[in-house]
Amino acid sequence: MRVLVQRSLNSNVSVDKKIVGKIEKGLVLFVGFTEGDTIKEIEYLVNKILNLRIFDDEKGIMNRSILDVKGNILSISQFTLYADTKKGNRPSYAKALNSIKAKELYKIFNEKLNEYIHTETGIFGAEMLVNIQNDGPVTILLEKEGIDDKKQNQF
């Protein structure tokens, strides 16, 4: 599972020229899944996101979490996080989880986040226009390998 995190001052997502999700200060998350991803990876990354200290404290040092600053989250499904560009110029998305399984995991991911912090979303599988006012800019890639990935990496 991969999550691209961007600190944001103001962001929204629209589908068919209609805003379906928006936040003020908070985080924009681009979320992708691959084979082997389970609730274990979701829980790990939800915890990491909620406690990631990337907001400034009173001294201007990134030392506060999204919970500390009482921000919001805009979560966007993003299968292209698993683009493989090693061969040629056309990315392969073979490592992205199929849409049926990914949609269910994405739903669980957002429900887990929403237990702790207000979370807005785009529409899974839709063509979306995402407007982000990236604050900093701060952009961080988080990743948690699923079971299948760990097996492949063993010697």
Work out the burial of residue 143: count CB atoms within 10 Å of its CB; fewer than 13 is exposed, 13-18 middle, 19 or more buried: middle
In a domain, 142, yes or no: yes
Residue 104 counted as domain residue: yes
Tell me how far apart the alpha carbons of residues 74 and 9 are, in angstroms, rounded to a whole number.
11
Whether pTM > 0.75 for this model: the answer is yes
The answer to whether residue 101 sits within a structural domain is: yes
Q: Is 154 a catalytic residue?
A: no
For the cut 70, the answer to whether the pLDDT of residue 21 exceeds it is yes
For 119-145, the pLDDT digits (tens) are 999 999 999 999 999 999 999 999 998
Assess if residue 155 is contained within a domain.
Answer: no
For residue 49, give the 3-state DSSP assignment. helix
Domain that residue 77 falls in: 2-150
6, 34, 78, 121: the catalytic one is: 78
Count the domains in the chain. 1
Residue 155 annotated among the catalytic residues of the structure: no
Active site residue 78: yes
Annotated catalytic residue: which of 33, 79, 119, 121?
79
